[in-house]
Amino acid sequence: MTNTEWESLSNQAVTVCGIVYFLALLAHSAQWASLRKLPADETPEIGQTALYGRLGVMLTAIACAVQLVALVGRGMAADPNRVPWGNMYEFVLTATFAMTVVYLLLYRKYSLAWLAPWAVGLVFVTLMLAALWLYEPVAPLTEALSSPWLVIHVISAITATGIFSLGGIVSVLYLVKSRSEEKEKARIKVAAAASAAGGDGGGEIALATREEPRRGFLARVPSPDNLDRFSYRLHAFAFPIWTFAVLITGPIWAHYAWSRYWGWDAKEVWAFITWVVYAAYLHARATAGWKGRNAAILALVGVATLLFNFIGINYFFGGSSQHSYAAPAPTSVVESAPMVEPGPALL
């Protein structure tokens, strides 16, 4: 196949996988629409609802495979062939792929049915935004990017980003769920107090305070404790990968490409901030009083810094970062010290 053919194959694959993700999202929506009507402790193993669920997961797997084709196509379309990590469009394509792979791998082990619509929805939306706004034709890498460190640095940064994002979703769900649970507790307490005060006969107390199986989406989301633990696992998994990406491979590559291993460039500053925030998250989980809610908030701050570093730096700090691979090569002529090769590199 020629390069152009590979490129159009990749573009078609992105379209197809977008559509399939959308179908998967529909299947999960249908599943949840009918699950809502059932009590939370009742999950049909057969029948239409279960079928929708399985269909959703299967479609997600198919979309994920097609996405892999899209990625391979990007790499094959370049001359010389390369890893498909040369610009933001390709990063987003890969990060969403990593996210889906992790989600699918963990699906069975952690019974992630409750996460399905959120994970698939996020992947779908991100992918579409990337296709609309970030698309760039395949191009050869700039000189500073042509390095074996590109492969190892970017794959780790992207994988960590994908997993941190999943952790972010779980943290949001944690906050929502624990809030609703608190409300529920308060309601039971108030009801109990009211009926105790009114002495309105035992029947009503029993009714109001009974732990009735609840319905609706939130009821099916695992307990806050479990969410907290799952979120911790995701973050604990991603943190060493992120450490490897920004504090080991990044500096090594920067040493070869720019002659300094750490230069407090805007992108480096924010990668450091992200790292510190997630280190704080891990500390928070070990600190009494910061567990749960505060830790979840820190995890969200982490996602915010991560995204800001990924997108914000390129658009707001465009020319001033050596890493601005999104903007056209910035010009900088320094009178006494001309920095002539603004090697646009990654992350």
User: Does residue 54 belong to the site contacting other proteins (CB under 8 A)?
Assistant: no
Among 173, 284, 299, 306, binds other proteins (CB under 8 A): 284
**Which of residues 197 and 286 has its CB atom nearest to ligand HEM in the complex?**
286
Per the listing, tokens 């949001």 go with 172
Tell me the window of 64-72, 90-98, 198-206, 324-332 that interacts with other proteins (CB under 8 A): 324-332
Q: Are 255 and 75 in contact (CB under 8 A)?
A: no
How many residues interact with other proteins (rule CB under 8 A)?
71
Closest by CA to 238, choosing from 335, 321, 306, is 306
User: Does residue 283 belong to the site contacting ligand HEM (CB under 6 A)?
Assistant: yes
**Which of residues 219 and 257 has its CB atom nearest to other proteins in the complex?**
257
72: enclosing H helix or E strand: helix 48-77
Tell me the window of 48-56, 97-105, 176-184, 240-248 that interacts with other proteins (CB under 8 A): 240-248
User: Does residue 282 belong to the site contacting ligand HEM (CB under 6 A)?
Assistant: yes
Q: Is 346 left (phi over 0), alpha (psi -120 to 50) or beta?
A: beta
User: Does residue 337 belong to the site contacting other proteins (CB under 8 A)?
Assistant: yes
Tell me the window of 12-20, 49-57, 93-101, 275-283 that interacts with ligand HEM (CB under 6 A): 275-283
Pick from other proteins, ligand HEM, none: which does 320 bind, CB < 5 to 8 A by kind? Answer: other proteins
Return the DSSP state at 345. Answer: -
User: Does residue 279 belong to the site contacting ligand HEM (CB under 6 A)?
Assistant: yes
Q: How far is the CB of 189 from ligand HEM (least distance, A)?
A: 33
Pick from ligand HEM, other proteins, none: which does 132 bind, CB < 5 to 8 A by kind? Answer: none
User: Does residue 139 belong to the site contacting other proteins (CB under 8 A)?
Assistant: yes
- At position 280, the amino acid (one-letter code) is A
Task: Give the CA distances from residue 74 to residues 127, 258, 311, 314, 323, in Å, rounded to whole numbers and listed in that order.
Answer: 15, 27, 21, 22, 21
* Burial of 272 (C-beta count, 10 Å sphere; 0-12/13-18/19+): middle
Q: Are 171 and 300 in contact (CB under 8 A)?
A: yes
Among 46, 132, 197, 286, binds ligand HEM (CB under 6 A): 286
How many residues interact with ligand HEM (rule CB under 6 A)?
4
Structure tokens belonging to residue 152:
């190892």
Structure tokens belonging to residue 210:
């009974």
Closest by CA to 193, choosing from 212, 208, 210, is 208
Interactions with other proteins, residue window 189-218 (CB under 8 A): none
Judged by the rule CB under 6 A, the positions of this chain that interact with ligand HEM are 279, 282-283, 286
